[in-house]
Amino acid sequence: MGTAAGVGAVGFNAAAHAADAAPGGSDLSRPPAGAPGSGGQFSLLRAEVTINDCEVDGKIPAELDGGFYATGPDPQYPRLPNNILFDGEGHVRMFRIQNGRVDYRTRYAKGERYQLQDKARRSLYPMYRNPYMDDPSVKGKSRATGNTHVINHKGMILALKEDSPPIAMDLNTLETVDAIFTFGGELPSTQPFTAHPKVCSLTGNLLGFGYEAEGLGSDVVSVFEIDKTTSKKLWETKIKVPYVGMIHDFGVSEKYVMFFCVPMTIDIPQMKRGGIHWSWDRSGKTYFGFFRRGGDGKDLKWFEGPTRSGTHTMGVFDDGKKLYFDTEITAGNPFPFMPNKDGSPPDFKGAESYLHRISVPLNGKAKSYDIEKLYPLSAPLPRQDDRYNTVPYRYGYAACPDPAVDRRAAGACYARMDLQTRTYKLWNAGTRISLAEPVFAPRSATSPEGEGYLMGIAYHLDQNLRSDLVILDAQRVEAGPIATVKLPVQASPQVHGLWVRGDLYPT
Ligand code: V55
Ligand code: FE
């Protein structure tokens, strides 16, 4: 295993840092630790696993009832050397926790792409989001991988990738039930669907968007709201963005929809040369925009800012005067494995992300947005209690290296942040573990914000990536795990995870 043992790893960039610190120094020609084939949350597995009644250290709280789900790219067939770790078929996993017991199960999200490749016994979609490179036999077929995030909709797991419609899976068995899920025909079967939809905190309805909505390179973004029980589209509007770039996430409050445009820009010439969809334009500006939810989008206003990237939203709110958008921000290309448009080498420092708060006055009079650093934590995958997606919130959670220690020697931590006091607490898992993004599980459907559990996967770098699910008291993360679910194998790769409360399972 090419893992850089002795370096606790979190997130996308830790990979690169670990490689940097590995014996032999920074050899950029091999996969960084944390990337597939070398260790950590992106390491491929390819085996579907079923284990009932997992071994547990400590005690699973009797009240904990629900499922922890996650997905990540786990390529069916080897990637081309210039492909990236964000490509590969989505492998979805579930830890079903009930009555103090834990059942573990993983299944591939079997979209058209998976099924066609399975039949052909080779890769037919050889390059990340590049239809020019597709095998001619798959023309017009879905490119959906479901490798980025999962949500629960009407008792189904929807496996998401932002260039395609969801792949629907059974909540209990993870068998694929719909290779191209269109919400019963509400969204076109060619409609891209974000990997980061929001659940309205007041109604439970689903807010989503799709960028490049009118085909490859389109500057149209469609934004919509879908009824949680009927799957009917309640509202939709189309807006235009200042330029075509990766819009990985967004924000929704009670009244507003927010977008942050960053210069990870579409690069069609690069695609035609056989490369990936994106390159980083270091001369590009950022634009934060908002408009009224439920309207026609004509009130959309953009506020300019310097070259930055922000990929993941932690939470959003407004105070009647200003709109606040909490996100992780990098100074440069957030993904060192994606090319820079000017051909410059990967910039690992510029890829470190820190939690920031973007704000703009609601009166629309400002020209640019304000930005303030919230925490010294390098946390590319921040989360909140998901019941607070569209309302003011207090607590955030993330995996990050210990900020008190030099990055290359820092252990991997889970952090709980209190936005009200601007303080945080850490549990440091040590330097021989790679931690994937944690999720928050409320004690019950109605318990106050932040009361519950924080859980996530710990990949043991010194045990051939054998993995544990660690469960912490979310109000006392610094005390460490109260229960550890021990898998005998490596957990499947993970980008994002989801907690489904027990009361949301179909009866
Ligand atoms: C991200 C992940 C992706 C992707 C674009 O988390 C952005 C960032 C796993 O795929 O295609
Ligand atoms: Fe994401």
Task: Starting from the CA of residue 496, give the closest ligand.
Answer: 2
Q: CB of 313 closer than 6 A to ligand 1?
A: no
**2 occurs within a structural domain:** no
**207 occurs within a structural domain:** yes
Please tell me the predicted confidence (pLDDT) of residue 25.
32
**299 occurs within a structural domain:** yes
Distance CA 416, CA 418 (A): 7
Domain count, the chain: 1
Q: What is the pTM of this model?
A: 0.94
Strand (E) or helix (H) holding 281: none
What is the span of the domain harbouring residue 179?
Answer: 14-504
For residue 239, the domain's CATH number is: 2.130.10
Which atom in ligand 1 lies closest to the alpha carbon of residue 163?
Answer: 11
**256 occurs within a structural domain:** yes
DSSP code of residue 227:
-
Task: Starting from the CA of residue 246, give the closest ligand.
Answer: 1
**313 occurs within a structural domain:** yes
Distance CA 399, CA 15 (A): 13
**1 occurs within a structural domain:** no
27-41 pLDDT per residue, tens = 333 334 433 334 578
Spell out the long-range contacts of 32-36 with Cβ–Cβ below 8 A and sequence spacing 24 or more: 32/337, 33/2, 33/3, 33/4, 33/7, 33/9, 33/461, 34/9, 34/434, 35/85, 35/337, 36/73, 36/75, 36/79, 36/85, 36/88, 36/493
**361 occurs within a structural domain:** yes
Q: Which residues of the chain have pLDDT under 50?
A: 1-8, 13-38
Please tell me the predicted confidence (pLDDT) of residue 77.
95
**Best residue for ligand 1 mutational test, from 83, 162, 494 (most atoms within 8 Å of Cβ):** 162
**394 occurs within a structural domain:** yes
